[in-house]
C-alpha cells in the first residue's frame, strides 16, 4: 500500500519516443522516462553523436533504447520514422514532441525562409509527429502525447522572436484541439510551457551577456534564477503516466513565476 502512489508514475514496459533528444531538455527527459521504466527512442536530426551517447546511457539502465534520424519539418520523413519505429517495437505509448528551434530577428528584417524554418519545425513538425504517432496510438488503444510549448505562447517576452512565439501559440491551441479530438481514443494530449531554461538555445546569451540576462530574465523571475533542463523531467513523467489520467488539453507553465506579472 505504501508504494501505491509511486505506481501511478511507473512507466515499465511503456515505449516512449522523444524528438529532439540530443538537445538539453530532450536528453534530460529521455533519461527521466527511462528511469521511470520506459524504453526510449531518441530522435535526432543532425547530432547523432549525442543521441548515441544518450542511447548508451539508457541501455546501461537495462532499458531498450535506439536512435533514429529524421527531419521533423519533412512530412514524409516523419512518417518514415514512425513506420520504422512501429516495425521495430509494434506500439508507441508515449510521445514527447520536443524538437524545436529559435530565431532572434526583428520581424521587419526576417526573410521568408527564416520565418518558414521556425514555423515548419516548431508548428508543422509538432503536428506531423503528433499525427504520425497518434495514428499508431488510435490503432493500439491509447497513449500520451506531450508537446513542447513555451511561456512565449502566452506573453511577448522577446518581441524579436515573433516567429518563435507564434509557432508556440499554435502548439498550445493544437494541443487543445488534438486533446478534444482524440479523447475518445484514450489518447491524452498536453503541453509543457517552459520559461527560461539553461539549454543550448539560451546558454550562448547567458555567457556573452550575463548582465542583460540578469536584468531581463532572472530579475523578472520570482525565483530569481534560470532553470536546468532536469527540472522539466518531473512534469513530463507525470504527463506520460497514469498519475495524470484525467489531465488532457492542458498547457502547463513551468517558468519560476515569470508570467505571474
**Crossing angle for the helix pair 125-140 and 75-89, to the nearest 10 degrees:** 30
* Domain residue limits, the chain: 4-254
Cα angle for residues 210, 215, 219 (degrees, 5° grid): 110
pTM > 0.85: yes
Q: Report d(CA 173, CA 145) in Å as an integer.
A: 14
Tell me which residue has cell 503536428. 127
44 assigned to active site: no
- Mean pLDDT value of segment 97-122: 96
Among 95, 92, 93, 91, smallest CA distance to 20 is for 95
Of the residues 22, 150, 152, 163, only one is catalytic, namely: 150
150 among known catalytic residues? yes
Q: Give the pLDDT score at 83.
A: 99
Which of 128, 152, 163, 168 is the catalytic position?
A: 168
What are the pLDDT digits (tens) for 50-106? 999 999 999 999 999 999 999 999 999 999 999 999 999 999 999 999 999 999 999
CB 146 within 8 A of CB 97: yes
> CA 40, CA 103: separation in Å to the nearest integer?
29
> Active-site residue 168, yes or no?
yes
CATH architecture of 4-254: 3-Layer(aba) Sandwich (3.40)
Amino acid at each position: 500500500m505504501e508504494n501505491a502512489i509511486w505506481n501511478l508514475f511507473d512507466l515499465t514496459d511503456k515505449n516512449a519516443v522523444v524528438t529532439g533528444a540530443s538537445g538539453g531538455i530532450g536528453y534530460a527527459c529521455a533519461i527521466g522516462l527511462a528511469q521511470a521504466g520506459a524504453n526510449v527512442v531518441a530522435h535526432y536530426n543532425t547530432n547523432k553523436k549525442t543521441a548515441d551517447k544518450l542511447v548508451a546511457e539508457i541501455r546501461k539502465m537495462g532499458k531498450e533504447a535506439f536512435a533514429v534520424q529524421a527531419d521533423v519539418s519533412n512530412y514524409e520523413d516523419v512518417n518514415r520514422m514512425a513506420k520504422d519505429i512501429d516495425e521495430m517495437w509494434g506500439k508507441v505509448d508515449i510521445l514527447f514532441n520536443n524538437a524545436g528551434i529559435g530565431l532572434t530577428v526583428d520581424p521587419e528584417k526576417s526573410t521568408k525562409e527564416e520565418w518558414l524554418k521556425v514555423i515548419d519545425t516548431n508548428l508543422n513538425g509538432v503536428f506531423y509527429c503528433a499525427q504520425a504517432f497518434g495514428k499508431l496510438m488510435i490503432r493500439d488503444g491509447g497513449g500520451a502525447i506531450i508537446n513542447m510549448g513555451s511561456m512565449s505562447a502566452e506573453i511577448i517576452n522577446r518581441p524579436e522572436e515573433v516567429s518563435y512565439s507564434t509557432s508556440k501559440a499554435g502548439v498550445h491551441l493544437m494541443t487543445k484541439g488534438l486533446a478534444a479530438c482524440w479523447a475518445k481514443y484514450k489518447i491524452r494530449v498536453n503541453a509543457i510551457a517552459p520559461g527560461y531554461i539553461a539549454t543550448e538555445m539560451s546558454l550562448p546569451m547567458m555567457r556573452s551577456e550575463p548582465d542583460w540576462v540578469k536584468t531581463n530574465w532572472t530579475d523578472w523571475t520570482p525565483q530569481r534564477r534560470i532553470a536546468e533542463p532536469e527540472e522539466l523531467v518531473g512534469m513530463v513523467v507525470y504527463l506520460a503516466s497514469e498519475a495524470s489520467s484525467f489531465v488532457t488539453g492542458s498547457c502547463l507553465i513551468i517558468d519560476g513565476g515569470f508570467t505571474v506579472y
